Amino acid sequence: MKLVSYWGDTAAAFAGAEAGPVEGTVDVAVVGGGFTGLSAALALAQRGASVAVLEVGRVAGEASGRNGGHVNNGTAVDFGSLVARLGLPAARTLYHAYDAAVDTVERIVREQQIQCDFHRCGKIKLAAKPEHYEKLARSYELLHAEADPDTALVPPARIRDEVGSGRFYGGLVHAKSAQMHMGRFGAGLADAAWRAGARIHESAAVTGLHRLGRAGHRIVTAKGTLTAKQVLVVTGASMKGPFGYVRRRVIPIGSFIVATEPLDPAQLDSIMPTRRNATTTKNIGHYFRISPDGRLIWGGRARFALSNPASDVKSGRVLEWALHETFPQLGRPRIDYCWGGVVDLTADRLPRAGEQDGLFYAMGFSGHGTQMSVHMGQAMAAMLAGEASANPFRGMPWKPIPGHFGPPWFMPFVGAWYRLQDVLH
C-alpha cells in the first residue's frame, strides 16, 4: 500500500518550474500553487500581466492533488438551508456559481487540451437514513423548481439502480457534475499557465510580506525576494506564512482516501452501475467514485486529525472497514493507495473571496473546491483587473473563529459533536 496520492502517483509531474531564484518585479504575485493560484496565473498571463506563482512545495501537491476526484455542482450547504439563511435570490446565485464552476473547468480542459479524463457523469447524494431521504425530497422540490431543473430524485425502491448497496435509502442526482484525474489536470493547468508566460516557483515558501505603499509589496521567500504591484493569497488550509487574517478564519480539517486495486467490470457494475460520483448525507460520511483504470476511490472524514503517514494509515483502516460494510460483494479487495489531505473549511461552509489590507484572497472551499477553486482563479484575475462583479462571494462578512489562531485544537470536540449528530439525526 502506497502512502501517496493516487492522482500524483499516476500523472507526470509539472516540469516547468523556475530553476533560478525568486527575484525581480511582477504585476501580480500569486501565493499558492494549487488550482486557484494556477488558474489565476493562467488568466492573468492571458490578460498580459507579468505573474509569479510562489508555492511552498510542488504545484497542485496539497488539496488540489489529494482529493477524491469529484467536480461537483451544488453547494456544500443544503439548498433549503441556504435559502433560509440568505433568501432565495442570493441562494440561487451561489448555486449557479457552482454550475458555472464546472463549466469553467470543462472550458479550460478543452481550450488547453489537458488530457485528464474529464467527463460529465453526474453526482448522487445518498440518504444514509430513511429520514435523510425525506429531507432530500424536500430539498429536491425547492431546488428543482427554483434553481436546477436537471436534478432528479431517486426513491428507495430504485436506489440499487444507482449503487449496489443495502445501506442507502434513496438519493438526489445532480446531473451537471463531472469527474477528472486531478494529477493530470494539475500538471496540465500549471503547464498552461507557464506557456502563457507565468513564472512558477516551487519550494518557495513565503516568509515575509511588506507593504510598500503605492509601489505594492515586497515578498520574502525561501528562494529570494520579489516585488509585486498586487498580491493574491490562495493558500487554502495552509498554516504557513505571514497570513494571520485568513488563518484565523479557515479551519484545516483532514480528509482521507483509499484506492483499491483495479476491479473487473462485473465488480464495478455490481457497486456503481451508473459510474456517478457519490456522497452520503452523514456529517462523517463518505464520498466515492471509480477511477479511469477501474479502482474504487473511497474517502471520508475517517478521523478528526490532520494528515501525516501514521494518521493516514489509521484512517485508511477505518475507511477500508466502511468500504467492506458498504460493498460486501467485493470481498476484501487489495488497497493500493492510502493518503490524506486538508480541507479549508469555513464556519458556514461557504467560500470567501475579496481584499483585505491590500491583499486579495480566495479560499474556504470547504470540500467543494476542485471546481470552485478553478473558477475563482479566473474570477480573481478579473477582480485584480478592476472587475469587482466577477467575484460571486463579494460582500459576504467573514468573522474570525473565536480562539482559533493556528492548529485547530478544538477539532476532537467538533468531531464528537458531528458523531453525536449522526446518531441522533
Q: Which residue has the cell 489531505?
A: 341
400 inside domain: yes
How many domains is the chain built from?
1
Would you say 376 and 351 are in contact if contact means Cβ atoms under 8 Å apart?
A: yes
The CATH number of whichever domain residue 185 belongs to comes to 3.50.50.60
Give the domain extent around 242: 6-414
Distance CA 154, CA 171 (A): 5
Would you say 236 and 363 are in contact if contact means Cβ atoms under 8 Å apart?
A: yes
60 inside domain: yes
pLDDT in single tens digits along all 425 residues of the chain: 999 999 999 999 999 999 999 999 999 999 999 999 999 999 999 999 999 999 999 999 999 999 999 999 999 888 999 999 999 999 999 999 999 999 999 999 999 999 999 999 999 999 999 999 999 999 999 999 999 999 999 999 999 999 999 999 999 999 999 999 999 999 999 999 999 999 999 999 999 999 998 889 999 999 999 999 999 999 998 888 999 999 999 988 889 999 999 999 999 999 999 999 999 998 778 999 999 999 999 999 756 677 788 888 999 999 999 999 999 999 999 999 999 988 899 999 999 999 999 999 999 999 889 999 999 999 999 999 999 999 999 999 999 998 887 777 766 666 666 666 777 66
145 inside domain: yes
Dig out the grid coordinates for 243 from the structure. 497570513
420 inside domain: no
119 inside domain: yes
349 inside domain: yes
Going by C-alpha positions, the residue among 73, 89, 7 that lies closest to residue 276 is: 73
419 inside domain: no
Would you say 276 and 152 are in contact if contact means Cβ atoms under 8 Å apart?
A: no
Distance CA 258, CA 69 (A): 12
422 inside domain: no
Alpha carbon of 255 to those of 214, 300, 301: distances in Å?
A: 41, 6, 5
